[in-house]
Amino acid sequence: MSFELILVIVTAVTGVIAYVDRLVWRPKREKALATEKEPILIEYARSLFPVFLVVLILRSFVIEPFRIPSGSMYPTLEIGDFIAVSKFSYGIKLPVTQTKIIPVGEPERGDVVVFSYPKDPEVDYIKRIVGLPGDKISYIGRIVFVNDKPIGQQVKGVYLGNDSGAVMNGADLVSETMDNDHRYDILLDMDKISRDMDTITVPEGHYFVMGDNRDHSNDSRFWGFVPERNLKGKAFGIWMNWDNGIHLNRLGKGIE
């Protein structure tokens, strides 16, 4: 059972108890000849319901925190980064069912997104959107082609990471530029055999995603497309990093 579903259930139960108490049980206690002590269950439900409700609203419709557990998004995101994800960037969705009730915006190429892994929806993944619905995508010689045009690349030098990022030291640090002028850095590990991919077309209502650590990422090249309903939101900032201690240099960084 997902945390989101548990939060919805707990909020609903405490809300119902508080509501029934206000309409039925409390008036009966007030009319009693002797003062009745308020049951502890009702006391806790009435006190905790507003807290659960606020958390549910913020987490479902505004911002949700996530922690980066792997190195598939180096150099953009490092292991231990705690990121903030905008839940309304791609529309307001109901919790649990993820039914869109208010359209707001649409994903764009280059967006870093959190989504439910299509092979196991209980697991959250974070990757970068490379292909939109209808796009033709191929990956040849470590270059991404979108609609038969290569994404611009410029080698910046050798990557020298700090702390957890040191595992990728020596990889090529490359700047990529999407056709919408969205620029970001990726890593290419020339010591690892690259897997080319022939041209495929992204189906309607789906997205093609890749990790920035191109040769160390389990992404759409291997398991397919991300349905729109699986998108949880757009990652926009790092608010903390904890990996065997707090790394202050990561705090407050934006996500390109």
Q: pLDDT (tens digit, 9 = 90+) per residue, 210-236?
A: 999 999 999 999 999 999 999 999 999
Q: Is 87 a catalytic residue?
A: no
pLDDT in tens, 128-166: 999 999 999 999 999 999 999 999 999 999 998 766 556
Considering the domain boundaries, does residue 24 fall inside one? yes
pLDDT number for residue 234: 96
Whether residue 153 is found in the same domain as residue 229: yes
Q: Give me the CATH number covering residue 162.
A: 2.10.109.10
Q: Looking at the 3D structure of the chain, how many domains does it have?
A: 2
Whether residue 229 is found in the same domain as residue 145: yes
Considering the domain boundaries, does residue 233 fall inside one? yes
Whether residue 52 is found in the same domain as residue 77: no
Considering the domain boundaries, does residue 256 fall inside one? no
Domain that residue 115 falls in: 68-250
Q: Is 127 a catalytic residue?
A: yes
Catalytic residue, chosen from 127, 217, 232, 234, is 127
Whether residue 57 is found in the same domain as residue 72: no
Considering the domain boundaries, does residue 255 fall inside one? no
Question: CA-CA-CA-CA torsion for 98, 206, 74, 173, nearest 10 degrees?
Answer: -150
Nearest-angstrom CA–CA distance, 235 and 112: 6
pLDDT number for residue 164: 59
Whether residue 197 is found in the same domain as residue 228: yes
pLDDT number for residue 32: 63
Nearest-angstrom CA–CA distance, 109 and 177: 10
Of 61, 76, 105, the last residue of a domain is: 61
pLDDT number for residue 149: 96
| 172 has a pLDDT exceeding 60 | yes
Catalytic residue, chosen from 60, 72, 86, 89, is 72
Whether residue 105 is found in the same domain as residue 232: yes
